[in-house]
Structure 1
Amino acid sequence: MKKVDPFVIVIGYDGSKQSHEALEWAIEESRYRNAELRVLTIWNKAPMAWYPAMLETAAGEIVAESSPEQQAEALSAKAAQAAAGVNVVTRTIKNDSAASAIIEAAREADLVIVGSRGHGGFAGLHIGSVSAQLANHAPCPVLVVRPKTA
């Protein structure tokens, strides 16, 4: 029996250098497989925990910093722009755990692609906590993209 649904690739994108490299890989993989690319950007700041910083621009205007949700939506738009030419769907998701949000989305995926690290605080680690959780718990294959070496 043939599978008639398109191949689905899920990628977690947080704007970090590693997630951008993973996005580039996912775009190429989507082209190769004629797949649907689902880009997830997860934000998790509670509304009352975020207070906008007031910033002064070079022109002397006072502006408020974007909310975490607005920042996530901007990242999604950037990812969609980078993935022009492939079948891309972007989603911003409010969830306390990026790993659990991606694992949930992976239930409908054939492949998950993530960078080896995100914006987490332990820069010396070779793999971040989200990547490790996905590698251990995702219901489909996971590709962890490591940084390119010179």
Structure 2
Amino acid sequence: MAMIVVGIDGSPVSEKALRWAVEETRLRAATLRVVHAWSSPYHGSEIARRASDAMHGPLERAAEETIDAALGHIVDTDLAVERRVVESLPAQALIEAARGADLLVVGARGHGGFADLLLGSVSHQCAQHAPCPVVIVHG
């Protein structure tokens, strides 16, 4: 069966990418793999490691809630959906999740800090390194 992977981060453009991926999944009678990656903002020292350990549970729950909220808008209960919450850098997680997939769908810009760019760093990395065709959905 065909597989379409979509990355979400809770941003409006990722919601648009999800809607696009849902329609394409229906057209292809495929399975939709919805991926949300998260990582700890703490790196380095022993204090940072302890802070990261303390935040692991809340960050993982927030990631699950992001997927729940995004999938709450999908009304087609016949759609085959696979959820993946991954502790990783977003581009790395999406490229890995797209192995063996027919298509990877990402939003052009997520929650990153440089709003004037046409592509965000994640969509740019996916376009360059994904093992399958990539669709970049603009807002």
Q: Give the structure-1-normalised TM-score.
A: 0.79
Which residue number in structure 1 is paired with residue 81 of structure 2? 88
- 1:1-150 equivalences under 5 Å are 6-45=1-40, 48-49=51-52, 67-85=58-76, 86-95=79-88, 97-147=89-139
**Shift in Å, 1:67:** 1.7
Look at both structures and tell me which one has the larger radius of gyration over its CA atoms.
Answer: 1
Structure 2 residue runs of 5 or longer lacking an equivalent are 43-49
The number of residue pairs the alignment matches comes to 128
SS state of the match for residue 39, structure 1? strand
Q: Matches of 1:74 and 1:104 in 2, distance apart?
A: 22
**Shift in Å, 1:89:** 0.9
Aligned-pair identity in percent equals 46
SS state of the match for residue 67, structure 1? helix
Which residue number in structure 2 is paired with residue 3 of structure 1? none
Q: Matches of 1:71 and 1:98 in 2, distance apart?
A: 15
What is the root-mean-square deviation in Å for CA atoms of aligned residues? 1.7
Q: Matches of 2:26 and 2:124 in 1, distance apart?
A: 26
SS state of the match for residue 82, structure 1? coil
**Shift in Å, 1:68:** 1.5
SS state of the match for residue 97, structure 2? helix
**Shift in Å, 1:82:** 2.4
**Shift in Å, 1:75:** 1.0
Q: Deviations over 1:85-132 (max 9, x none)?
A: 21111111001x110111011112110000001100101111000000
Would you say the 8 A contact 1:15–1:75 is kept in 2?
yes
Q: Matches of 1:82 and 1:24 in 2, distance apart?
A: 9
